[in-house]
């Protein structure tokens, strides 16, 4: 009986995992990340470019890179930032809008790039899956 229950449980979990939000594909995400490379490095100890190095970014709090000069807009939101998957997904759709929401006033992010809309949802999920592997 216990075995049966845990089986049912595992099945339920598997179901919510696929319906709640599709897991991204890290290999595809690595390709999508080429677009980010104009402004970001990802390897450990990589230099900051226009944007900060993104090694280990998933799970970080705001403004964690002490050697990067974040924009004023970013810094107004920084103490509310926690870069979990949902936060990065929202940020990528419209960085300034996301920071404005957290800051409680209209601010601008220095990141001008967007992966906006439903059509880009897979790209975002894939690139986030890739970011998760870089830690």
- Is residue 29 a contact point for ligand HEC (CB under 6 A)? no
Which residues are CB-contacts of 19 (< 8 A; sequence separation ≥ 6)? none
Looking at beta carbons only, is 10 or 37 nearer to ligand HEC?
Answer: 37
Q: Decide whether 6 or 112 has the Cβ nearer to ligand HEC.
A: 112
Asked if residue 125 binds ligand HEC (CB under 6 A), the reply is: no
The residues in 104-123 that bind ligand HEC, with binding defined as CB under 6 A, are: 109-113, 115
What distances in angstroms separate CA 63 from CA 2, 33, 42, 74, 102, one per listed residue?
47, 21, 16, 8, 14
The span from the CA of 13 to the CA of 19, in Å, is 10
**Using the rule CB under 6 A, is 24 a contact of ligand HEC?**
no
Q: Is residue 86 close enough to count as binding ligand HEC by CB under 6 A? A: no
CA angle 43/24/40 to nearest 5° reads 30
Question: Are 53 and 65 spatial neighbours (Cβ–Cβ below 8 Å)?
Answer: yes
Q: Give contact residues for ligand HEC (rule: CB under 6 A).
A: 35-36, 38-40, 50-52, 54, 57, 62, 64-65, 70-71, 73-74, 83, 88, 92, 109-113, 115, 127
């Amino acid at each position: 009986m216990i075995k049966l229950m845990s089986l049912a449980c595992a099945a339920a979990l598997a179901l919510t995992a696929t319906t709640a939000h599709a897991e991204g594909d890290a290999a595809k995400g690595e390709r999508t990340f080429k677009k980010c490379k104009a402004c970001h490095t990802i390897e450990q100890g990589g230099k900051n470019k226009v944007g900060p190095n993104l090694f280990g970014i998933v799970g970080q709090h705001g403004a964690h890179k002490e050697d990067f000069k974040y924009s004023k807009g970013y810094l107004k939101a920084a103490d509310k930032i926690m870069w979990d998957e949902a936060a990065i997904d929202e940020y990528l759709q419209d960085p300034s809008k996301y920071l404005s929401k957290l800051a409680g006033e209209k601010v601008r992010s220095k990141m001008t790039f967007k992966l906006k809309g439903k059509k880009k949802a897979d790209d975002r999920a894939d690139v986030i899956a890739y970011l998760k592997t870089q830690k």
